[in-house]
Amino acid sequence: MKFFVDTADVDAIKELNDLGMVDGVTTNPSLILKAGRDITEVTREICELVDGPVSAEVVAEKAEDMIREGKILAKIADNIAVKVPLTWDGLKACRALSDEGHMVNVTLCFSPAQAILAAKAGATFISPFIGRLDDIHLDGIDLIADIREIYDNYGYETQILAASIRTVNHIIEVGKIGTDVITAPPAVIKSMVKHVLTDKGLEQFNADWAKTGQKIG
């Protein structure tokens, strides 16, 4: 399973990247706003830091404008994946950009039908949003399972990029299904290390070691 980090915070990306935990990065307009930096500047810095795909999102609504913006974003670095929404115009832009050799991440996917269209339009990645489906009392994990089954049935090469991940359990469940990639905020990825029994065991070891009165080195 590949780990993409869902943030435009360069320091947070660097910390995880130094540990070998980063296979790519996803950004969106909301994350750029949170970073408070120029989109070209921060995206270029992330691309220089990370070897894998870095998703940068268009903001236009019409296909021709998405294509124009996508080409501008793609010039930032060779590892840019142009992010387009799963609308009819977004699919048109996906086809045009992928035909020119650009990586394309089709985002805001909420149904298997949408995922099929994205694959046929040449998407490099499809981004189904798990957490947002959970928010409206639907099962986002089921969506990943459905897409995985359909893609495997027909040999679609589009990679499933599980997005809107809120919990460690989300990561575990989509991993069991066989998602290609997950993208999650740094805090969620870092929380994967936590377990109450790890903390309890460490506390016991430290207490016992203190009783020995020894030092290492």
DSSP state of 136: T
Enumerate the active-site residues: 83
Residue 8: its pLDDT value, please? 96
3-state secondary structure of 184: strand
List the helix and strand counts (H, then E) for the chain: 11, 8
What is the pTM assigned to this prediction? Answer: 0.94
Q: Tell me: domain 2-192, CATH 3.40.50.970, correct?
A: no
Q: What is the rounded distance in angstroms from the CA atom of residue 59 to the CA atom of residue 213? A: 62
Residue 212: its pLDDT value, please? 96
Alpha-carbon distance values, 22 to 17, 48, 64, 97, 108 (Å): 5, 13, 33, 25, 22
DSSP state of 158: P
Residue 88: its pLDDT value, please? 98
Residue 165: its pLDDT value, please? 97
Most distant pair of Cα atoms in the chain: their distance:
72
